[in-house]
Amino acid sequence: MAQRLVRRLCMHCKKPYTPLPKEVPADFPFMRMMEERIDVFAPGGCRDCRGTGFSGRVALYELLVADEEIRLLAAQRRQAQIIKDAARKAGMKTLRENGWRKVLSGVTSIDEVVRVAKTD
């Protein structure tokens, strides 16, 4: 299990933001955001959050469940990327993917996910 904390956007002052394709990382689900007309938010700044735009923190996490295939790959001392690919095929979501879900649900910002969860 891996986890990172990102700052939670202040519910009182977060503001809708429509990024341009060149402003977001390549792995950001930009097309989904556009197709489903999902608002993403940027930090604002108000008295409640002391002008920071953030209030509290929320965890990003990934959990690798060692099924039979992953145990076998580990026992064979296969490369980490091969094990990770097998885990993702079995349904594992990475820290970054979990972060993008939180961005699309309005909990945190794109910059926060980029800051704490490096690319896969």
Query: Domain boundaries in the chain?
Result: 2-62+95-116
Predicted confidence at residue 64, as pLDDT, reads 87
Predicted confidence at residue 118, as pLDDT, reads 85
Mean pLDDT per 10-residue section of the chain, whose length is 120 residues: 95 94 93 93 95 96 90 91 91 93 96 90
Q: Rounded to 5 degrees, what are φ and ψ at 59? A: -90, 140
Helices (H), 1-120: 30-35, 68-75, 80-89, 95-104, 110-116
